[in-house]
C-alpha cells in the first residue's frame, strides 16, 4: 500500500496517524507511507522519531474572527492546496488518510481533485470542522466514539472503529502493584490518585492540587502527579514559597513526566485529568474511574463532549474548569476513594466503552476503500 497520512499540530492528531501507519506496515511490509504536516507542529518531532518521512505545506488553522492575520492564513492555506497536489503527484498514493485538524482541508481538497480515495479518522466525540466539512466527500470517516457518528447524521460512510492508542490493560497482581508503587516512591497501602494535565492548559488543576497538598487534604490517598515539564518548575517554586520540598511531600510524588504510563495507570485507583480523545480512550481501555476537568478553550468545547461519553455510562465525574477549586476537587476525591465498590464499578463501566481490535478495524476499512 502507498499511503499519505495528513496529520499536524498536536499529539492527539499525530499519534493516531502513526498508529495507523504502524498497523499498515505490520499488515503489508512492503508499504510506503509518508506524512504531510506543517513545519511548526509536533509532527516535526513525532513523525521522524517514528521512522516516517514528513513533507510540509504552509497550511494554518483559522481563528473565528476577522483579522488581517486570519486573512493571511486563509490565503496561505488556499495556496497550500497546490503544495499538497505536488506531493500527491510525486508520491502517487493509493489513499490519503487524514486524522483531523486544519491540515486535512488542503490535503483532502487536493486528493479529491486528483481522484485519490480519502479516509478520515475523527478521535473526538464532537467532530472537528475538517471532518464535518468533508463528511459527504470522504470515502470513509472512521470515528472513535458512537456519539461522533450521531453528530455526523449517522451517514453510511461513517464507521465506529475506536481510537488507536499504545496503552493496554494489564491485570497486575497485588504483589506487582506493590512493586510498581515502591519503584515510584509510593506507599503500598494507600489508594493512588493519578494526576496529569500536560504542559499547557492545566493551571487550574495545578492550583487545586497545590492547595490540597499545602493544606494536607490528601491524608486518605496519595497523589502521583505528572505536572508536565513546563509546569514542574513553577509548582516546585510555589511549594518552596511555603517551605515544602517537592521531593519530600507526604502522600504525594510530583514528577515532570511519567515515562511508564501504562504501568502507572494500571496501578492507579482513580485518575484526575483533562479529557482529550486519547486520554478518554486510554482510561476506557485500562478500565479506570476518572474525574475529568475538560479544557475550557478546546475547539467547539470538544473536551467536555469527550468527558460526557464516560460520565453517561457511570464511569466518570466531571468538574467544569469554571467550578474547579481545591475544596470541590478534594471533597470529590475523598468521597470516591472511600468507596472501593463504587470505584470498581466505575472502572468496569469504563471498560465497556472500549473498542476491541481498533487498529485492525481501521486497517480493514482503509483496505476496503482502496
DSSP string, 82-101: HHHHHHHHHH--SEEEE-SS
Work out the average pLDDT over 205-220: 95
| Co-location of 192 and 341 in the same domain | yes
In this structure, the answer to whether residues 85 and 186 fall within a common structural domain is: no
Please indicate, yes or no, if residue 168 is contained in any of the structural domains. Answer: no
The upper half-sphere exposure of residue 41, i.e. CA atoms within 13 Å in the direction of its Cβ, equals 28
pLDDT of 63 above 90: no
Query: Reduced to 3 states, what is the DSSP secondary structure of residue 287?
Result: coil
The answer to whether residue 292 is domain-embedded is: yes
Residues 323, 182: one domain? yes
Average pLDDT rounded to a whole number, residues 63-87: 81
Domain count across the chain: 2
Does residue 31 sit in the same domain as residue 136?
Answer: yes
Per-residue pLDDT, averaged over 87-91, amounts to: 98
Specify if 209 maps to a domain. yes
**Are 262 and 285 contained in the same domain?**
yes
Residue at 169 is within a domain = no
Domain check: are 234 and 273 in the same one? yes
Clarify whether residues 270 and 149 are in a common domain: no
Ramachandran region, residue 249 (left: φ > 0; alpha: ψ -120 to 50; beta: rest): beta
Q: What is the pLDDT of residues 319-360, one digit of tens each?
A: 999 999 999 999 999 999 999 999 999 999 999 999 999 999
pLDDT at 65 over 90: no
| 120-158: pLDDT as tens digits | 999 999 998 889 989 999 999 999 999 999 999 878 999
Contacts of 235 (CB under 8 A, 6+ apart): 206, 210, 227, 246, 254
pLDDT of residue 64: 63
**Are 318 and 363 part of one and the same domain?**
no
pLDDT at 155: 84
Confidence tier at 300 by pLDDT (50, 70, 90): confident
- Mean of the pLDDT values across residues 48-69? 83
Question: pLDDT band at residue 208, thresholds of 50, 70 and 90?
Answer: very high
Share of the chain above pLDDT 70, in %: 97
In a domain, 331, yes or no: yes
Determine, yes or no, domain membership for 363: yes
The region that residue 209 occupies, defined by phi over 0 for left and psi between -120 and 50 for alpha, beta otherwise, is alpha
Domain with 139, as residue range(s), is 2-163+356-369
Residue 300 lies in a domain: yes
Tell which phi-psi region holds residue 168, choosing left (phi > 0), alpha (psi between -120 and 50) or beta: beta
Q: Is the distance from CB of 105 to CB of 128 less than 8 angstroms?
A: no
99-114: per-residue pLDDT in tens? Answer: 978 899 999 999 999 9
Distance of CA 97 to the CA centre of its chain: 18
Same domain, 158 and 216: no
345 plus 362 within the same structural domain: no
The verdict on residue 263 lying in a domain is yes
| Judgement on whether residues 145 and 286 belong to the same structural domain of the protein | no
φ, ψ of residue 188 to 5 degrees: the values are -75, -15
CATH number of the CATH domain containing 42: 3.40.50.2000
List residues bridging with 22 in a β-sheet: none
pLDDT, mean over the chain: 93
Residues 129 and 79 reside in one and the same domain: yes
* Confidence band, pLDDT 50/70/90 cuts, at residue 78: confident
Torsion of CA 293, 297, 299, 302, to 10 degrees: 20
Contact of 271 with 332, CB cutoff 8 Å: no
Amino acid at each position: 500500500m502507498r499511503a499519505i497520512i495528513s496529520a499536524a499540530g498536536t499529539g492527539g492528531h499525530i499519534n493516531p496517524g502513526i498508529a495507523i501507519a504502524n498497523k499498515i506496515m505490520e499488515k503489508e511490509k512492503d508499504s510506503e507511507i509518508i506524512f504531510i504536516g506543517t513545519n511548526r507542529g509536533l509532527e516535526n518531532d513525532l513523525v521522524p522519531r517514528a521512522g516516517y518521512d514528513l513533507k510540509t505545506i504552509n497550511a494554518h488553522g483559522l481563528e473565528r474572527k476577522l483579522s488581517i492575520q486570519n486573512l493571511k492564513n486563509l490565503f496561505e492555506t488556499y495556496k497550500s492546496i497546490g503544495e499538497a497536489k505536488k506531493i500527491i503527484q510525486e508520491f502517487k498514493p493509493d489513499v490519503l488518510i487524514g486524522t483531523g485538524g486544519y491540515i486535512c482541508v488542503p490535503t483532502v481538497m487536493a486528493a479529491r481533485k486528483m481522484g485519490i480515495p480519502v479516509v478520515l479518522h475523527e478521535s473526538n466525540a464532537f467532530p472537528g470542522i475538517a471532518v464535518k466539512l468533508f463528511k459527504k466527500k470522504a470515502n470513509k470517516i472512521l470515528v472513535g466514539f458512537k456519539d461522533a457518528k450521531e453528530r455526523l447524521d449517522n451517514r453510511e460512510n461513517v464507521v465506529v472503529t475506536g481510537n488507536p492508542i499504545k496503552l493496554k490493560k494489564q491485570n497486575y497482581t497485588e504483589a506487582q502493584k506493590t512493586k510498581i508503587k515502591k519503584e515510584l516512591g509510593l506507599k503500598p497501602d494507600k489508594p493512588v490518585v493519578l494526576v496529569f494535565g500536560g504542559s499547557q492548559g492545566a493551571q487550574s488543576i495545578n492550583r487545586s492540587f497545590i492547595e490540597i497538598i499545602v493544606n494536607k487534604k490528601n491524608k486518605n490517598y496519595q497523589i502521583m502527579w505528572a505536572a508536565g515539564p513546563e509546569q514542574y518548575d513553577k509548582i516546585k517554586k510555589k511549594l518552596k514559597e511555603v517551605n515544602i520540598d517537592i521531593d519530600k511531600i507526604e502522600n504525594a510524588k510530583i514528577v515532570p513526566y511519567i515515562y511508564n504510563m501504562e504501568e502507572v495507570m494500571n496501578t492507579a485507583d482513580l485518575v484526575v485529568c483533562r479529557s482529550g480523545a486519547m486520554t478518554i480512550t486510554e482510561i476506557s481501555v485500562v478500565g479506570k474511574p476518572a474525574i475529568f476537568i475538560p479544557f475550557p478553550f478546546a475547539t467547539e468545547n470538544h473536551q467536555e463532549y469527550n468527558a460526557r461519553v464516560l460520565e453517561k455510562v457511570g464511569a466518570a465525574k466531571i468538574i467544569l474548569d469554571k467550578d474547579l477549586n481545591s475544596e470541590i476537587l478534594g471533597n470529590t476525591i475523598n468521597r470516591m476513594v472511600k468507596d472501593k465498590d463504587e470505584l470498581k464499578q466505575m472502572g468496569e463501566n469504563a471498560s465497556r466503552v472500549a473498542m476491541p481490535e481498533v487498529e485492525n478495524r481501521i486497517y480493514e476499512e482503509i483496505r476496503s476503500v482502496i
